[in-house]
Amino acid sequence: MEMKFLRQRVEEGGVYVDQLFFHDPDGFMIEICNCDNLPVVPLAGDLRSSCSRHSIPNMQSQQTQQHRRHHHIHV
């Protein structure tokens, strides 16, 4: 059995995240990543207020480096 997958590395602000994407036998896309490398950043402002009242700036992700590789897994 052969399974196609996509491996990708994303770097942003000096933090690297490796991702692996594939489809399970039912056709659902699965992503596995080491997202725990991403820093936890608290929301700015008064945390006692409702989140819906906060004006959160639109942060645009800039991927400075991205590698994509297509591979096949033989099972």
CA atoms of 8 and 18, how far apart (whole Å): 6
H/E stretch holding 64 reads none
- Known active-site residue 11: no
- Catalytic residue, chosen from 2, 11, 12, 31, is 31
C-alpha dihedral sign at 32, 33, 34, 36: negative
Which are the catalytic amino acids?
31
